[in-house]
Amino acid sequence: MKQSLQSIEVFNSGYETQSHQREHMNKTAAIVVLFNPVGVDTTIGTISAQVDFCLLVDNTPNAEATSWQQQNNIHSVHLGENYGVAYAQNYGLDKAKALGADYVVFFDQDSDVPEEYVPQMVNSYDKLRSLDVNVGLIAARAFNKYTGTTYRHRDKSNLKNIRSIINRYSEVEYTLSSGSFVKLDVFEEVGLFHAPLFIDSVDHEFCWRLSTCGYKVLIDEELKLPHMLGEKRRDNTFVTVNVPAPIRHYYVFRNWIHLCKQKHVPYQFKTRTLLRMPLKATYFICFESPRRQRLKYIAKGVWHGLIGKLGRYPSSK
């Protein structure tokens, strides 16, 4: 899929000046995972104007698709197959390291990135490190860009030792990968994203590994990131449900079961998951069409989770 980058040229018009200002500073790379990208020129332009390197990793499994052309600080690659979000992020991390980046920030193509988002993340990181907070990852408060509803991040509590910074940070159990800011050398200790998960719970699993290694996963409450989870959102009497494409049930249920067998995953998550799995399965099978398809993917996901079969869905080629 050939994309036009004309609108990106507008955002990059001031890149040389910004690049000169950052010449003697730590360098930041943005890693943007793409899949069937449509109408993302503005997003990429906004991101590339804030970082030293903008790395586009396209997972679109279309033989006719072409890579995004390289322009200014934009580096792109088309993988030719859908290898999953974790593999694509790891590919971007290798490229960021080769380019000499010190920090990385991750974005999905459906996130609307505010101007000055990355510089504010860098500023937050520097402030926290100056107070000896062992920062593993910082992210913004993500909210649904259509409804304004804030996504849950499993808050822990405000960190007592950083109240001097306007009490703006919350420690969380996990958060979304989109918008998350990480120092590159953290991956040397914690490891890369768990590629066999393919998609779903990749960000959660990484956050738990960070916590296991003694790092803090933090939310900057003054930064907001518009985002979208699922293909649609269903508001019911008691709960709001993000409704995904049927095949995503395979990855969600399989990865939930797989993670419940891992030692570094918190006991609370395992308990919550074992309680909500039958509830979610019942809801999707009974109330969301196509019901038969959803049943098939849920059943296969549960089975593969039990036997430890990971990776891409077997017939997705």
Q: Is residue 73 part of a domain?
A: yes
**Residues 148, 115 share a domain:** yes
End residue of a domain, out of 176, 205, 227 = 227
End residue of a domain, out of 193, 227, 261 = 227
Q: Can you give the pLDDT at residue 19?
A: 46
Q: Is residue 216 part of a domain?
A: yes
Q: What is the tally of structural domains in the chain?
A: 2
Q: Is residue 111 part of a domain?
A: yes
Q: Can you give the pLDDT at residue 159?
A: 55
Tell me: pLDDT of 303 over 80. yes
Residues whose CB falls within 8 Å of the CB of residue 131, separated by 6 or more in sequence, listed in order:
161, 162, 164, 165
CATH code (residue 162): 3.90.550.10
Closest to 192 in 3D by CA, of 82, 262, 88, 266: 88
Tell me: pLDDT of 63 over 60. no
**Residues 164, 42 share a domain:** yes
Residues whose CB falls within 8 Å of the CB of residue 144, separated by 6 or more in sequence, listed in order:
150, 151, 226, 227, 228, 229, 233
> In this structure, is the dihedral angle defined by the CA atoms of residues 16, 21, 27 and 28, taken in order, positive or negative?
negative
**Residues 264, 193 share a domain:** no
**Residues 265, 185 share a domain:** no
Give the mean pLDDT of 290-301: 97
**Residues 237, 95 share a domain:** no
Two tokens at 96? 């960021």
**Residues 236, 223 share a domain:** no
Highest mean pLDDT among 64-73, 110-119, 237-246, 304-313: 304-313
Least confident of 46-50, 103-107, 161-165, 286-290: 161-165
Q: Is residue 141 part of a domain?
A: yes
Q: pLDDT tens across 90-109, in order?
A: 999 999 999 999 999 999 98
**Residues 289, 173 share a domain:** no
Task: Give CA–CA dist 11/33, Å, rounded.
Answer: 20
Q: Is residue 99 part of a domain?
A: yes
Task: Give CA–CA dist 161/9, Å, rounded.
Answer: 43
Least confident of 50-64, 152-166, 197-211: 152-166
Tell me: pLDDT of 226 over 90. no
CA distances from 58 to 3, 83, 229 (A): 12, 10, 19
Q: Can you give the pLDDT at residue 150?
A: 72
Q: Is residue 315 part of a domain?
A: no
**Residues 120, 216 share a domain:** yes
Task: Give CA–CA dist 176/207, Å, rounded.
Answer: 9
Full domain range(s) for residue 52: 6-227
Under the banding of pLDDT at 50, 70 and 90, the label for residue 293 is very high
Residues whose CB falls within 8 Å of the CB of residue 282, separated by 6 or more in sequence, listed in order:
none
User: Is pLDDT larger for residue 168 or for residue 139?
Assistant: 139
Q: Can you give the pLDDT at residue 237?
A: 46
**Residues 244, 212 share a domain:** no
**Residues 68, 174 share a domain:** yes
DSSP labels for 246-308? HHHHHHHHHHHHHHHT-TTS-HHHHHHHHHHHHHHHHHHHHHSSSHHHHHHHHHHHHHHHHHT
Query: By the 8 A CB rule, do 106 and 178 touch?
Result: yes
Task: Give CA–CA dist 126/104, Å, rounded.
Answer: 14
Closest to 112 in 3D by CA, of 88, 145, 140, 138: 145
Query: By the 8 A CB rule, do 225 and 237 touch?
Result: no
End residue of a domain, out of 227, 256, 277 = 227
Q: Is residue 84 part of a domain?
A: yes
Alpha-carbon 145 to chain mean position = 16
Q: Is residue 303 part of a domain?
A: yes
Q: Which residue has the tokens 């920030």?
A: 105
Give the mean pLDDT of 287-292: 95
**Residues 142, 246 share a domain:** no
Q: Can you give the pLDDT at residue 292?
A: 97
**Residues 213, 259 share a domain:** no
